[in-house]
Structures are given as C-alpha cells and as structure tokens.
A and B are shown apart, each in its own frame.
Chain A
Amino acid sequence: DQQVKQNSPSLSVQEGRISILNCDYTNSMFDYFLWYKKYPAEGPTFLISISSIKDKNEDGRFTVFLNKSAKHLSLHIVPSQPGDSAVYFCAASARDDKIIFGKGTRLHILP
C-alpha cells in the first residue's frame, strides 16, 4: 500500500534546463511534505519542505508546488546543474509524525 508514489523511476534533463520531479499521495491526512536528495553510498539529505497550508515554497533553484485537491506535489529545479544528478525522495507526514517515503526518482543531468 504505497501512500507516497513517485511513478517515474528515472528522469534525464539537459544541463541548464528545468527538472520537474513529480509525487502523488493517497493519504488526505498528510499535512507536511518533504523532498530529500540522495547520492550513491550516502544517506538522504533534506532539500526542501512544504506545509499543507501553502501551495508553493521556494529556496534558491528549488521550488516545491503542492496541489492538495489533486494530492500531487512537484519539485522544480532550475537551472539544472551536474551536481543535481542524484535520487530524489518525496516524503510526507501526518500528525502521527512518521515520515512516509516514496521509492525515489533518479535524476540524470546531461551535459
């Protein structure tokens, strides 16, 4: 029972272009959403988050958009850089404070 779904296992984007990573969720009780970035042989590192009371949060090149009615969120990276090549995990939390992670999307930034 996947409560957080990242349906694209991988994505390739040209350097300098916009990368858009998508995430869908099923649990309407989720009120906080996070994105983590993971390099090989390292642990996930926190990237950006958004509360359910907002529909957009921006931090430098990274913007997260939340569409509650569609139970969908997306991470935009612009412009994409070579160091952005990594696995990106979408995650969500409800009031019980457990964080539920998606399976991740592997982003390849092409030169």
Chain B
Amino acid sequence: DTAVSQTPKYLVTQMGNDKSIKCEQNLGHDTMYWYKQDSKKFLKIMFSYNNKELIINETVPNRFSPKSPDKAHLNLHINSLELGDSAVYFCASSQSHRVSRDQPQHFGDGTRLSIL
C-alpha cells in the first residue's frame, strides 16, 4: 500500500535527452510537490500543486515542466537534460498546501537521475 509512488526509481540517460518522472498518491491529498536533492544533500522544493493548480514555482529552469492531470498525479517532464540535473527527485503530498501541525508531507522514495 504505497502512499506516494514515483517511477522510475532509477533513470540513467544521455545529456540532451527528454525524460519524465511520474508520481501518484493514494492518500486523497489535495497538494503535491516536487523536491530536488542535489549532490550537496540539500532538499529543495521545485514546484507544488494544489488541486491541479500551480501554487509554488521556485527558480527552476524552463526545461522543467510539471503536469498535474488530476490531484492524485503530478508528473515532471525535463527537456534537454544537462549534467547538473543529476540528482534525486522526490515527490511528496499533503492534505493541504498550508503547512500544518497535523498534516505533514508524505514523500515518495525518490528517483535517482544520472546524466551521462
């Protein structure tokens, strides 16, 4: 019963390619997120969607485009992959986009993206 599942778990690809990472949550949450954990181990938010509407869009290159077909799914498409995109990408969800005492974010297990 995986609450937040993301695929693939590992992704190895060449520079310049386009790739997608999928995320699904079965918790009935309204808000979903994408985080990036780079080589320095910082976990930084990239995007968040609340009921399919974009609410947080950090300074991320236009090559990254999130898509939320419904509130249970938030996919991340990356165009023209670069070496610096190598990282672990985590999807997460929460009941509401308001950081709340009783509604923490639930994370997926991550997608390790390696650019050759």
Interface residues on A, range: 20 to 34
Q: Which of A41-64 contact B (CB under 8 A)?
A: 41-46, 49, 51
Q: Which of B41, B45, B105 contacts A46 (CB 8 A)?
A: B105
Flag whether A99 is at the interface (Cβ < 8 A). Answer: yes
A46 to B41, CA, bound (A): 18
**Is there an interface contact between A99 and B99, defined as CB atoms closer than 8 Å?**
yes
Contact with B along A23-40 (1 / 0, CB 8 A): 000000000101010000
Known: A32-B99, A49-B101, A97-B97. Contact between A103 and B107, CB under 8 A?
A: no
Known: A98-B45, A101-B42, A103-B40. Contact between A43 and B90, CB under 8 A?
A: yes
Contacting residues, chain A, for B107 (C-beta < 8 A): 36, 43-45
B binding-site residues for A, Cβ under 8 Å: 4, 40-45, 56, 58, 90, 92, 97-99, 101, 104-110
